[in-house]
């Protein structure tokens, strides 16, 4: 695939992004277009590796490797190298419903499993994917494609995040009538309100939703199933239901001072910011402002990074990001071999911007929050933390242990808790009576059906907190099983 010697002839091209100190002044997209010749050369770096791991989507040693939606990566890399862009789009769209999203927000596990990455920088798969999708829309290759025949079967999808949209798109493609219920005022779930605009422009989400509507998918906003619409009514009105509500129950930090003013779950901060931005360009003031404040972000991952990037754009006085884990190594450790995702030190966009502003990575590693301290009005003012070391306990598991004498206090006028999620919210699940697994997620069998006949689940609600690309994969698999359930064991849908 690609040019036989391309991985030797061409160096990996870095992402083309707007300058840090320019882009932090607004909420517009960070990425810049890449010249066609540069993209063709990057596609040419894809080597004829015989057994490509980039599109496997398997679990190896407890870690995901390759692309969860099994994108035909070597094929469309080769087509880009040859300048056959429309053919590249056709191949890309066969496996991924929303490459315009994943090309922007996915951390690219495919690149961690790229064969070139054994010794050299990986093929820039993510940049190529984004460019193929953007070109397809620009050239008018992406058009509504409603099904030729309708089956008369009705399916409800609860939640309009990536899993819900993928499930709806595929079920509709099979000819069933799909209604998507969303409790927020806009469609998109995590894509709309959980990811900041500079990382994923909401015009792209609206564009895709408009396409799905033109293909026949019905969207109902401002309706929370289980509250505004009884769960039993859903079972009466639809032949099948797909639960795609996500894992929205945030992990809390139960330490002294947690109830002080100025401490928020990260998603509350991010959601309010994007809603206010879309409603009024922040003129309504209905968001949690970091302007002029010492901001503490507790936790890493994508959510923590998004909090850093958002607080910078508000005009935070300072930002410190606390991580309980040690600093990752610069190179893979022996217990993290290729083709696993490399657990190495890297700067994401938020940390990169903070470094450009203040000269250093805002993250402090191997520390634990002990308590929050208040001013005389019960507003959080400071945070006490302590260094930790990771030691093996009696059960053989590693855990943090405080290092005596390392306690210290840092300014903290706004604290954002970005420590992940512990599962789906329970009221709707209790109404439906679906079984939960040992982690509190919705239990499903191999067909993605829950313990209630005709009710399926996909995405974070059944899988647990994960990536957008895994949610798309889950939505596609659930759709295939819904079609099989409604069509007497047959299905026209690919996985």
CATH number of residue 231's parent domain = 3.50.50.60
* Residue 190 sits in the same domain as residue 91: no
- Asked if residue 443 belongs to a domain, the reply is yes
| Residue 22 tokens, joined | 């320019």
Q: Using DSSP, state whether 455 is helix, strand or coil.
A: strand
- Above 70 in pLDDT, residue 214? yes
- Asked if residue 79 belongs to a domain, the reply is yes
pLDDT averaged over the chain?
96
- Per-residue confidence (pLDDT) for residue 1, from 0 to 100: 67
What whole-number percentage of the chain has pLDDT above 70?
100
Query: For the stretch 365-389, what's the b/e string if a residue is b when 16 or more beta carbons lie within 10 angstroms of its beta carbon?
Result: bbbbbbebeeeeeeebbbbbbbbbe
Domain boundary among 385, 400, 419: 419
**Which residues, 6+ apart, have CB-to-CB distance to 376 below 8 Å?**
none
* Residue 190 sits in the same domain as residue 240: yes
* Residue 262 sits in the same domain as residue 239: no
**Number of domains within the chain:** 3
> Could you tell me the pLDDT band of residue 452, with boundaries at 50, 70 and 90?
very high
User: Do the strands 63-65 and 455-457 form a parallel or antiparallel pair, or are they unpaired?
Assistant: unpaired
DSSP 443: P
* Residue 433 sits in the same domain as residue 404: no
64-67 contacts at long range (C-beta below 8 A, 24 or more positions apart): 64/109, 64/341, 64/470, 65/109, 65/112, 65/113, 65/339, 65/340, 65/341, 66/109, 66/110, 66/113, 66/339, 67/109, 67/110, 67/469
* Residue 400 sits in the same domain as residue 309: yes
- Above 90 in pLDDT, residue 170? yes
Helix or strand (DSSP H, E) at 81: helix 73-81
* Residue 236 sits in the same domain as residue 273: no
Asked if residues 327 and 345 have their Cβ atoms less than 8 Å apart, the reply is yes
- Per-residue confidence (pLDDT) for residue 59, from 0 to 100: 83
Asked if residues 135 and 35 have their Cβ atoms less than 8 Å apart, the reply is no
* Residue 256 sits in the same domain as residue 345: yes
Domain boundary among 365, 399, 419: 419
> Could you tell me the pLDDT band of residue 62, with boundaries at 50, 70 and 90?
confident
* Residue 279 sits in the same domain as residue 162: no
- Asked if residue 493 belongs to a domain, the reply is no
- Above 90 in pLDDT, residue 64? no
- Asked if residue 147 belongs to a domain, the reply is no
Asked if residues 349 and 305 have their Cβ atoms less than 8 Å apart, the reply is yes
Kindly write down the DSSP assignment for every residue of 230-293, as one continuous string. -HHHHHHH-SEEEE-----EE-----BTTTSBTEEEHHHHHHHHHHHHHHHTTTT--S---TTS
- Asked if residue 360 belongs to a domain, the reply is yes
Mean pLDDT for 324-340 is: 94
- Asked if residue 446 belongs to a domain, the reply is yes
Asked which of 133-137, 229-233, 379-383 is least confident by mean pLDDT, the reply is 229-233
What whole-number percentage of the chain has pLDDT above 90?
94
Mean pLDDT for 128-133 is: 98
- Asked if residue 455 belongs to a domain, the reply is yes
> Could you tell me the pLDDT band of residue 46, with boundaries at 50, 70 and 90?
very high
* Residue 369 sits in the same domain as residue 403: yes
Range of the domain at 243: 154-248+422-486
Residue range 67-97, pLDDT digits in tens: 999 999 999 999 999 999 999 999 999 999 9
* Residue 59 sits in the same domain as residue 43: yes
11: domain CATH number is: 1.10.1060.10
* Residue 242 sits in the same domain as residue 301: no
- Asked if residue 495 belongs to a domain, the reply is no
* Residue 126 sits in the same domain as residue 171: no
Asked if residues 340 and 65 have their Cβ atoms less than 8 Å apart, the reply is yes
- Per-residue confidence (pLDDT) for residue 291, from 0 to 100: 98
> Could you tell me the pLDDT band of residue 50, with boundaries at 50, 70 and 90?
confident
Mean pLDDT for 465-489 is: 97
- Above 70 in pLDDT, residue 128? yes
Asked if residues 273 and 310 have their Cβ atoms less than 8 Å apart, the reply is yes
d(CA 429, CA 441): 10
Tokens 């009221």: give the residue: 427
């Amino acid at each position: 695939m690609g040019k036989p010697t391309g991985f030797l002839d061409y160096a990996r091209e870095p992402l083309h992004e707007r300058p840090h100190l320019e882009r932090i002044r607004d909420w517009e997209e960070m990425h810049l277009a890449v010249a066609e010749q540069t993209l063709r050369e990057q596609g040419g770096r894809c080597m004829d590796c015989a057994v490509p791991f980039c599109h496997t989507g398997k679990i190896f040693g407890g870690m995901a490797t390759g692309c969860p939606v099994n994108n035909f990566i070597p094929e469309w890399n080769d087509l880009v190298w040859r300048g056959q862009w429309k053919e590249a789009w056709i191949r890309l769209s066969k496996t991924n419903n929303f490459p315009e999203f994943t090309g922007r927000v996915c951390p690219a596990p495919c690149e961690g499993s790229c064969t070139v990455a054994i010794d050299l920088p990986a093929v820039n798969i993510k940049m190529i994917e984004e460019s193929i999708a953007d070109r397809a829309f620009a050239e008018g290759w992406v058009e509504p494609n409603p099904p030729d025949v309708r089956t008369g079967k009705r399916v409800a999808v609860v939640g309009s995040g990536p899993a819900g949209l993928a499930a709806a798109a595929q079920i509709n493609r099979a000819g069933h009538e799909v209604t998507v219920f969303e409790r927020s005022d806009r469609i998109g779930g995590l894509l709309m309100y959980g990811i900041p605009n500079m990382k994923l422009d909401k015009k792209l989400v609206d564009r895709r939703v408009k396409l799905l509507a033109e293909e026949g998918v019905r969207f109902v906003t401002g309706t929370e199933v289980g509250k505004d619409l009884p769960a039993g009514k859903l079972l009466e009105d639809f032949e099948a239901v797909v639960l795609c509500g996500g894992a929205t129950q945030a992990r809390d930090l139960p330490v002294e001072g947690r109830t002080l003013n100025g401490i928020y779950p990260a998603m509350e901060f991010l959601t309010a910011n994007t809603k206010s931005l879309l409603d009024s360009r922040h003129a309504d003031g209905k968001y949690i402002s970091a302007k002029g404040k010492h901001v503490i972000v507790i936790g890493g991952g994508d959510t923590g990074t998004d909090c850093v990037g958002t607080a910078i754009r508000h005009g935070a006085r300072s930002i410190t990001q606390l991580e309980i884990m040690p600093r990752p190594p610069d190179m893979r450790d022996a217990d993290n071999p290729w083709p696993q995702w490399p657990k190495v030190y890297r700067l994401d966009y938020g940390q990169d911007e903070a470094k450009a502003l203040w000269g250093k990575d805002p993250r402090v590693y191997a520390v634990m929050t002990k308590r929050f301290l208040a001013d005389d009005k019960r507003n959080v003012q400071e945070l006490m933390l302590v260094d930790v070391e990771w030691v093996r306990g009696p059960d053989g598991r590693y855990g943090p242990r405080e290092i005596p004498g390392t306690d210290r206090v840092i300014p903290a006028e706004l604290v954002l808790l970005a420590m992940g999620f512990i599962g789906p919210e329970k009221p709707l699940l209790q109404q439906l009576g679906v079984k939960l697994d040992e982690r509190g997620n919705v239990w499903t069998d191999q067909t993605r059906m829950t313990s209630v006949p005709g009710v399926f689940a996909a995405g974070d609600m059944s899988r647990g907190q994960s990536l957008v690309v895994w949610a798309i994969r889950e939505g596609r698999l659930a759709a295939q099983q819904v079609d099989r359930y409604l069509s007497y064991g047959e299905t026209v849908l690919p996985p």
